[in-house]
């Protein structure tokens, strides 16, 4: 944009400002889009838009600096705890604190917190049949944030979230598996802030293995019960 409103019109020169990976994939289309007729008033309007973008970017950086200062002064412990979770960095930890507050006693349990975020599946059941398991409505900002964090967590190799997502994606769609991981990260965040303890992946692995064994035992009991009915 800067090169265009400064007077550059050659597509061969403008295309040098674009990432190589994008050029390799869409090179001809991009070069064709850069070949146009630009007047002086076009450059003037583009320069104004660019200045507006720079202003918004500067204000966004100022807000982040202010948030970091407030969180460091008043919620340093909570900020540190949240960043122990895979996928959560400084900015996402600050946003979680801004949306939820540092005191998780406002929520009765992790299930209530999941419902408040809007990541808990609804209980749409009638006559023993489930009509819908879509997630409920909740805090849309926190919901979107936890989904973005979940993407980072499931891409962290060696983490329990990566392994759990891989298993879920086999029998569910990747989107549903991602929502499940976002809900799980929300539950972990609630427990860390509520009990004031850092994230411990070993405890998560033990918990997951206990759930697997509980399911195995349940299915074994059901098989024995069916065999007795024959």
What residue numbers bound the domain in which 113 lies?
Answer: 76-123+131-199
193, 127 Cβ separation under 8 angstroms: no
- In the prediction, which pLDDT does 211 show? 65
Burial 48-73 (b: 16+ CB within 10 A, else e): eeeeeeeeeeeeeeeeeeebeeebee
Distance CA 132, CA 122 (A): 7
Distance CA 120, CA 84 (A): 23
160, 187 Cβ separation under 8 angstroms: no
Same domain, 10 and 119: no
- 217 located within any domain: no
Average pLDDT over residues 159-173: 85
Same domain, 86 and 53: no
Same domain, 107 and 163: yes
223, 142 Cβ separation under 8 angstroms: no
- In the prediction, which pLDDT does 209 show? 60
- 146 located within any domain: yes
Same domain, 22 and 110: no
Q: How buried is residue 194: exposed, middle or buried, by Cβ count under 10 Å (0-12/13-18/19+)? A: middle
Provide the domain count of the chain: 2
Mind listing the pLDDT tens digit for each residue in 30-83? Answer: 888 888 888 888 889 999 999 999 999 999 999 999 999 999 999 999 999 999
Same domain, 36 and 119: no
Distance CA 227, CA 206 (A): 32
- 210 located within any domain: no
- In the prediction, which pLDDT does 127 show? 60
Same domain, 108 and 155: yes
- 218 located within any domain: no
Strand 124-126 with 129-132, pairing? antiparallel
Average pLDDT over residues 148-163: 87
Binning pLDDT at 50, 70 and 90, where does residue 93 land?
Answer: very high
124, 135 Cβ separation under 8 angstroms: no
Same domain, 50 and 143: no
Strand partners, 37: none
- 226 located within any domain: no
Same domain, 155 and 114: yes
What is the pLDDT of the chain when averaged over all its residues? 85
What's the predicted TM-score (pTM) here?
0.72
Distance CA 178, CA 176 (A): 5
- Assess whether pLDDT exceeds 90 at residue 94: yes
- In the prediction, which pLDDT does 125 show? 60
Q: What does residue 85 show for φ and ψ, rounded to 5 degrees? A: -80, 135
- 109 located within any domain: yes
């Amino acid at each position: 944009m800067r090169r265009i409103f400064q007077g550059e019109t050659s597509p061969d020169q403008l295309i040098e400002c674009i990432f190589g990976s994008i050029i390799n994939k869409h090179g001809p289309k991009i070069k064709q889009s850069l070949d146009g007729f630009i007047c002086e008033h076009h450059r003037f309007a583009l320069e104004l838009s660019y200045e507006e973008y720079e202003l918004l970017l500067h204000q966004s950086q100022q807000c982040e600096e202010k948030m970091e200062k407030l969180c460091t002064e008043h919620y340093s412990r909570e900020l540190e705890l949240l960043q122990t979770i895979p996928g959560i960095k400084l900015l996402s930890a600050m946003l979680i604190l801004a949306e939820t507050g540092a005191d998780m006693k406002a929520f009765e349990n992790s299930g209530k917190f999941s419902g408040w975020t809007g990541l808990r599946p609804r209980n749409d059941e009638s006559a023993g049949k489930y009509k819908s398991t879509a997630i409920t409505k909740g805090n849309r900002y926190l919901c979107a944030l936890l989904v973005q964090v979940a993407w980072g967590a499931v891409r962290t190799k060696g983490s329990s979230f990566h392994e759990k997502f891989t298993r879920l994606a086999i029998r569910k769609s990747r989107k549903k598996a991602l929502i499940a991981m976002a809900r799980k990260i929300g539950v972990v965040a609630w427990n860390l802030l509520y009990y004031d303890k850092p994230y411990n992946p070993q405890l998560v692995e033990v918990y997951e293995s206990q759930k697997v064994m509980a399911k195995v035992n349940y299915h074994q009991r059901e098989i024995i019960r069916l065999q007795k009915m024959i």
